């Protein structure tokens, strides 16, 4: 059976909302008691007619508890005791053969689920186990009691009638267990998805420079190592903002932050899918390019021109900034540190010879 998107969203909302989730379970149990009320009214078993009326009232009260925002643990304990009491009364009134006592079996996984989701700390395991043993002994006790007392009401039903009541109780019990299992699986899936999303966010926070949005140095080191291990050719571009200290001293560090962020955006737009960009340190930015050297040099020149023509605004003041870039192509037998050193030395050469330029292996003296 194919689950539609609307159905999936409903179940996802249900498992995230305790009131909706526990109200659904409560209304299902309430519906079963309404059906049993009609059945025993037809069979003239008045103790169970009255008990079902009381059970309906109890579950209507439970729905009010849930709507009021109180903890569902109270509803769980009420449900737990009501089901056990009903099983005993049904066993005494009509006997064991109709299968009313099997509802007690469903309390064991239901108890573990409810205790796991509603009770804090390790005591939830103790409480769930204790309730499980209690349900087990109640099930045995219910059987022994029915053998000792017999059925008070000897209903004159054909075998097919007895079988239909037993099947009805079995269907209700298995449906209840299936519902609890489905909700539990959906909750685990939602928790796994949420954890995965949180881990993704944490990984991103750990790998991204918070000011510029570029990769940080630790992340770039991973990309560099991968590029080296792959054996493919790559290029590095070391960038440095010219006279950045003067910008900070003249206009303040907030203005310097604006310059860093805007230049980072310009570089990211130009690099795009051709490599990775990281804030290497201070105002230095390192580009790992997967493109050939010629294309990398052209890209570096485009970045330089874009920064040169960009107008930086802060406090109604327009400021021009420039960028000096040094490029290097990784050669076989070199380490990553060697290639970085070549790019850095060309950057230094550009700084010492006019700034606002791209220095490549082609024009280094």
DSSP E strands, the chain = 235-241, 275-281, 284-289, 312-314, 317-319, 323-329, 358-359
The rounded Cα 294 to chain-centroid distance in angstroms is 44
- What's the pTM value of the predicted model, to 2 decimals? 0.59
Q: Write down all domains in the chain, each with its CATH number in brackets.
A: 5-204 (no CATH), 217-359 (3.30.70.270)
Q: What is the spatial distance between Cα 11 and Cα 219, in angstroms, rounded to a whole number?
A: 38
Q: Residue 79 has what pLDDT?
A: 92
- Count of CB atoms situated within 10 Å of the CB of 122: 7
Q: What is the spatial distance between Cα 79 and Cα 237, in angstroms, rounded to a whole number?
A: 69
Kindly report, residue by residue over 234-271, the tens digit of the pLDDT.
999 999 999 999 888 888 888 889 999 999 999 999 99
Compare 235 and 191 and report the one with higher pLDDT: 235
Active-site pick, 232, 283, 284, 334: 283
Kindly report, residue by residue over 202-229, the tens digit of the pLDDT.
776 678 888 898 999 888 998 999 988 8
Q: What is the spatial distance between Cα 34 and Cα 31, in angstroms, rounded to a whole number?
A: 5
Q: In which band, very low, low, confident or very high, does the pLDDT at 5 lie, cut at 50, 70 and 90?
A: low
Kindly report, residue by residue over 87-120, the tens digit of the pLDDT.
999 999 998 889 899 999 989 988 888 888 888 8
Kindly report, residue by residue over 123-156, the tens digit of the pLDDT.
889 999 999 999 999 999 998 988 888 888 887 7
Tell me, yes or no, if 229 is annotated catalytic: no
Q: In what order do the strands lie in the sheet with 284-289?
A: 275-281, 284-289, 235-241, 323-329, 358-359
pLDDT, averaged across the chain: 87
């Amino acid at each position: 059976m194919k689950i539609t998107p609307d159905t999936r969203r409903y179940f996802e909302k249900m498992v995230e909302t305790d009131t909706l989730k526990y109200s659904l379970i409560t209304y299902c149990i309430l519906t079963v008691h309404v059906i049993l009320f009609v059945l025993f009214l037809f069979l003239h078993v008045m103790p169970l007619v009255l008990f079902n009326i009381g059970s309906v009232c109890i579950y209507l009260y439970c729905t009010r508890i849930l709507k009021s925002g109180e903890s569902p643990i109270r509803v769980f304990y009420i449900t737990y005791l009501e089901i056990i009491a009903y099983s005993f009364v049904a066993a005494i009134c009509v006997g064991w053969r109709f299968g009313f006592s099997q509802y007690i079996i469903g309390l064991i996984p239901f108890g573990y689920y409810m205790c796991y989701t509603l009770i804090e700390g390790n005591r939830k395991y103790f409480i769930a186990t204790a309730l499980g043993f209690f349900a087990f002994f109640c099930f045995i006790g219910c059987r022994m009691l029915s053998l000792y007392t017999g059925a008070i009401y000897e209903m004159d039903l054909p075998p097919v009638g007895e079988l239909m009541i037993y099947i009805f109780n079995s269907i209700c019990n298995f449906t209840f267990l299936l519902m609890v299992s489905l909700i539990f699986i959906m909750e685990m899936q939602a928790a796994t998805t949420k954890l995965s999303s949180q881990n993704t966010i944490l990984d991103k926070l750990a790998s991204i420079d918070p000011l510029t949005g570029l990769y940080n140095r630790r992340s770039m080191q991973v990309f560099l190592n991968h590029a080296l291990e792959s054996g493919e050719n790559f290029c590095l571009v070391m960038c440095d903002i010219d006279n950045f200290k003067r910008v900070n001293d003249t206009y303040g560090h907030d203005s310097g932050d604006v310059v860093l962020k805007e230049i980072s955006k310009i570089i990211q737009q130009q690099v795009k899918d051709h490599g990775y960009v990281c804030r290497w340190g201070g105002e230095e930015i390192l580009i790992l390019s997967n493109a050939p050297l010629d294309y990398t040099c052209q890209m570096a020149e485009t970045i330089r021109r874009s920064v040169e023509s960009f107008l930086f605004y802060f406090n109604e003041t327009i400021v021009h900034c420039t960028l000096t870039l040094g490029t290097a192509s990784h050669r076989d037998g070199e380490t990553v540190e060697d290639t970085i050193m070549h790019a850095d030395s060309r950057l230094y050469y550009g700084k010492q010879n006019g700034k606002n330029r791209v220095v490549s292996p082609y024009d280094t003296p």
